[in-house]
Structure 1
């Protein structure tokens, strides 16, 4: 059994920061669950271009407000607490946080831990592993 608290993970290498967000990686590839699970904070008034070419992701909004826009068709969806969006087609998208947002994210395949978006908004398939 794996038991971790958000606060324990936040105080460890499982907390990864980027310019527009920070993510606490609660479950990772080395946990052998077949997916990774993260609690991510998106900073207010930021737009993040993302294109997960190597991963599928589901995102559930816990707090805050924003929107997600799919680049291919320009469709915009409001995000508020209780909203789930799923990037099931490796959708290139723009994520905009109007206020600080907290979201729960699930990735398949799972992340190793240290991933951040490259210049195209992509996470690499393999990255540095967080060691506990």
Structure 2
């Protein structure tokens, strides 16, 4: 059994920070679950281009506000507590933070190794060659 508290991830190598989001990666590929599980904070007033060509993602919004816009058709969806969206077609999109931090819970399949960030096309790599090991 794996039991973790997200508070124990804060400030470790499993918390990834960018200008637009902070991702606390609680379960990763190395845990052998077949998916990864993250708490992510989308910073207010930001915009992130995302196109997960190598992963499927499901997102549950639990706090705050924001917006997702699909690039193919320009549709916009308001995000807030209780909203779930799934990128089941590798949907290219813009993720925008609203007026308050948007806290979401994310599941990725295949699982992330832990150090991934979006490249210039909004993509995470298919698989990092080495899993990140916990640093004492």
- Give the shorter-chain TM-score range: over 0.9
Q: Shift in Å at residue 12 of structure 1?
A: 1.7
2:7 corresponding residue in structure 1: 7
Q: Residues 9-88 of structure 1 correspond to what in structure 2 (within 5 A)?
A: 9-88=9-88
Distance 1:3 1:89 in 2: 31
Q: Shift in Å at residue 130 of structure 1?
A: 2.2
1:107 corresponding residue in structure 2: 108
Q: Shift in Å at residue 11 of structure 1?
A: 3.1
Gaps (5+ residues) in structure 2? none
Q: Shift in Å at residue 10 of structure 1?
A: 1.3
Q: Give TM-score scaled by structure 2 length.
A: 0.94
Aligned-partner SS, 2:8:
helix
Q: Shift in Å at residue 18 of structure 1?
A: 1.2
Distance 1:9 1:90 in 2: 28
Q: Shift in Å at residue 9 of structure 1?
A: 1.2
Distance 1:20 1:10 in 2: 17
Q: Does 1:131 align with 2:133?
A: yes
Distance 1:130 1:50 in 2: 23
List structure 1 segments (4+ residues) > 2 angstroms apart after TM superposition: 127-130
Q: Shift in Å at residue 48 of structure 1?
A: 0.5
Aligned-partner SS, 1:10:
coil
Q: Give TM-score scaled by structure 1 length.
A: 0.97
Gaps (5+ residues) in structure 1? none
